[in-house]
Amino acid sequence: MATSSPDSAARRVGRAVGGSPQHVLGTLVGVAGYAVLLVLGFVAGIVCGLSASWLAWLWQVGPIGQALAVAALVLLLVLLFLGCRVAGWGMGSRLGAGLPAAGWAAAGFAIVGHSSAGDVVMTAAAVNYGFLYGGITAVVLATVLTPPAPVRRPQPTQNWNSN
């Protein structure tokens, strides 16, 4: 009974696409990392959106509640910005910051829509508008401010057989 290790699978794929097994395995790991960042961005957007609805409740309590809601909103937006920047730094590319941002934005669009039962997660409170527009601003700034991946230039080949 033959077993297939990840190394032998990478070797087979490498031969099929004309690359080394290490290059193919590295590419697969990179693609998987980007997919995980997109999903994490979506999950964070849903969780943050639900927590923003609690901020709307605080907003209605009075001046102290409004001050707490604004402080919590600013903290949430700073964490969102830093999360996207860290993802871009970790992946070494602007795409690493852009994919969690895209997942977060997709979750934001999902929670502002109406359901078939007529329920709304985000109400028309000022703090919710701050969350939506501030969040979009935070993720766009995080993506734009993340340095792009360095350009890899092919090394010049030397012809050692010249006569």
The 3-state secondary structure of the chain, one letter per residue: CCCCCHHHHHHHHHHHHCCCHHHHHHHHHHHHHHHHHHHHHHHHHHHHHHHHHHHHHHHCCCHHHHHHHHHHHHHHHHHHHHHHHHHHHHHCCHHHHHHHHHHHHHHHHHHHCCCCCCCCCCCCCHHHHHHHHHHHHHHHHHHHHCCCCCCCCCCCCCCCCCC
What average pLDDT does the segment 70-97 reach?
89
On the question of pLDDT at 100 being above 70, the answer is: yes
Is 0.75 surpassed by the pTM of this model?
no
Spatial distance between the Cα atoms of 123 and 119, rounded to a whole number of angstroms: 10
pLDDT classification of 8: cutoffs 50, 70, 90: low
Highest mean pLDDT among 1-5, 46-50, 99-103, 147-151: 99-103
On the question of pLDDT at 67 being above 60, the answer is: yes
What average pLDDT does the segment 66-94 reach?
90
Question: For position 74, what pLDDT does the model report?
Answer: 93
Spatial distance between the Cα atoms of 67 and 97, rounded to a whole number of angstroms: 30
Residue of 123, 133, 138 whose CA lies nearest to 53:
123
For 38, the token pair is 């997109």
On the question of pLDDT at 15 being above 80, the answer is: no
